[in-house]
Amino acid sequence: MPIINRISGFHDDITKWRRDIHAHPELQFDVHRTAALVAEKLKEFGVDEIATGIGRTGVVGVIKGRQTASGKAIGLRADMDALPIQEIVERPHMSRTPGVMHACGHDGHTAMLLGAARYLAETRNFDGTAVVIFQPAEEGGGGGREMVNEGMMDRFAIDEVYGMHNAPGIPVGQFSIRSGPMMAAADMFIIDIEGKGGHAARPQRVIDTTLVGAHIMTALQSVVARNVDPIEAAVISVTTFKAGDAFNVIPQTARLTGTARTLSPEVRDLLENRMREVVEHTAAAFGAKATLDYQRHYPVLSNNAEKAEFAGSVARLVSDKVDMNTPQVMGGEDFSFMLDARPGAFIYLGQGDTQYLHHPEYDFNDDIIPIGVSYWAKLVETALPAL
């Protein structure tokens, strides 16, 4: 693979940063140590501007090229937060924080973008500005939304924005991307049911919330099966069902929670509307009351067609394995907020036959570091060619 020699030269340095971040994982917006490390490295690299506290704990670095005649700025984003998972594999860089680990590779994403910042600050072989974005709270906290809402795109005059994620199950060094919707909108819901509690031996005198909840769980699957066009994609998953504390008491209340995933605004609206009808009417059929709190979180991640094609062409400069029609997935990703604010593209970088994301045995594959860093470098140099 045509990896940039200078980047191969500091592969070991980037690996050390990655493993240090892995050993000290932090959750959501509480990425203070990681953010401080990022800011320290950016200062060491001599970037032109460093801004901290963006989106609470995000860090942004600005690197100006040898020329700035183009007046154009390209944003490159990495996420910094870990997951509330106990790491179970003994390794030298194993998490030192009980119950928290980097099980999604954000340690690798952060380290690779730091490597790109080092290279770009050294060479500055481009005409314009590279903006490196280190984001907190991708794992459910909406850190991307926070950074966008604070005006990051306008403050740093970002014209285009790009993201990258490691991908277990895809061959090492292969890039995968598609234009249009690539990852699903990720929503959450809470269903509260109120019936009439009482003695479990006298069910005729109660309105059983566990029975109502069970029927609601089943009926919700009819929304995907019978209301959504079979050509479209949608998921409704009830993931918790909490009711009662005693074996001989039928509980007065019950609560169901879960997630809904869609790939289009129309189907998203349909799911919310039909779920509310199913929840309320199913409960009413048993004499109970139920409410649906449908919370819209991450929007659909949709790649701009032109920028996806561009990202794929840059990937071909680094790898001879590029899939331009990777399958859509129902997982969510809050880089979608940045893509809603500016044109750009999100790409996967294969890390081989490793344990999958969010698994307690997962670890980022350090062998892909120079590939990812070279992609970032080539993207800036290609989008902002020096005069």
Distance CA 177, CA 167 (A): 11
Tell me which amino acid residue 367 is: D
Instruction: Determine whether the annotation assigns residue 199 to a binding site.
Output: no
Distance CA 25, CA 83 (A): 8
Please give the radius of gyration of the chain, using alpha carbons only, rounded to the nearest integer.
24
Distance CA 341, CA 39 (A): 25
Instruction: Determine whether the annotation assigns residue 358 to a binding site.
Output: yes
Instruction: Determine whether the annotation assigns residue 109 to a binding site.
Output: no
Provide the terminal-to-terminal Cα distance of the chain, rounded to the nearest Å.
Answer: 27
Instruction: Determine whether the annotation assigns residue 215 to a binding site.
Output: no
Using an 8 Å Cβ cutoff, are 17 and 41 in contact? yes
Distance CA 319, CA 277 (A): 50
Residue 334 contacts by C-beta under 8 Å, 6 or more apart in sequence? 137, 138, 142, 143, 144, 145, 298
- DSSP state at residue 83: B
Distance CA 41, CA 29 (A): 20
Using an 8 Å Cβ cutoff, are 240 and 257 in contact? yes
Instruction: Determine whether the annotation assigns residue 106 to a binding site.
Output: yes
CA distances from 94 to 18, 70, 100, 163, 276 (A): 12, 45, 10, 26, 44
Count CB neighbours of 329 within 10 A.
16
Q: Are strands 73-79 and 160-167 parallel, antiparallel or unpaired?
A: parallel
Residue 332 contacts by C-beta under 8 Å, 6 or more apart in sequence? 183, 184, 185, 186, 261, 297, 298, 301
Q: Which residues are annotated as a binding site?
A: 104, 106, 139, 165, 358
Q: Indicate the annotated binding residues for Mn(2+).
A: 104, 106, 139, 165, 358
